[in-house]
Amino acid sequence: MKGLTAQPNDTQSVDPKERRDVRRAVAHWRRQIAGENRVPLLATFDFTSIKGDWGHRFLICTDQNPENATFISYGIMFAALLGLPEKVTAITPLNQLIPDRYRPLFAEGCNKAIRNQRPAPFSGALEHDFIVELFRAVFLPIRLHPNWSKWLIFGTFNCRIALSGDKRAEDV
């Protein structure tokens, strides 16, 4: 992933609120499987208990091809971070909505969650336009139906600027 340093674990130090949201999203997902070693099904997944807790969270519908991924829903803080409309208004491929720098992260996160059929956490740094952003995300698979190729990916994403440099200083 060009310009992206990702660690698929929990080793980087980032804002505790970001860690808590990742942990809360994973804990909610795990409660849906009730200790069983399987991916939850949409028919039994409880979204009602997190209805008001979507700030940095998202829900994606996808298959094995990341170009087919689309947002179903997302929180207002997530929308603000990525420059998206406040609510999903049309079924538009993810790659047409999110900034280029995040596309590899979302593609890898969705693919890893589906392939491994378990949570795919990421944290790291992303460099662009003389700015370094620290990010934390998790992608959690949900099966639409046991025999279908389409999946839902429930997750959370947050980032913050860690460093900013003066372009003129970098050009010297």
Q: Which range marks the domain in which residue 150 is found?
A: 4-171
Record the pTM. Answer: 0.81
Tokens of 133: 């952003």
**Burial label, 19 (beta-carbon count in 10 A; 0-12, 13-18, 19+):** middle
Whether the predicted pLDDT of 167 surpasses 80: no
Tokens of 57: 């969270």
- Domain holding 38: CATH number? 3.30.450.20
What is the percentage of the chain residues whose pLDDT exceeds 90? Answer: 50
Render pLDDT for 9-18 as a digit per residue (tens, 0 to 9).
Answer: 333 333 444 4
Q: What is the DSSP letter of 1?
A: -
- Number of structural domains found in the chain: 1
Mean pLDDT for 84-102 is 91
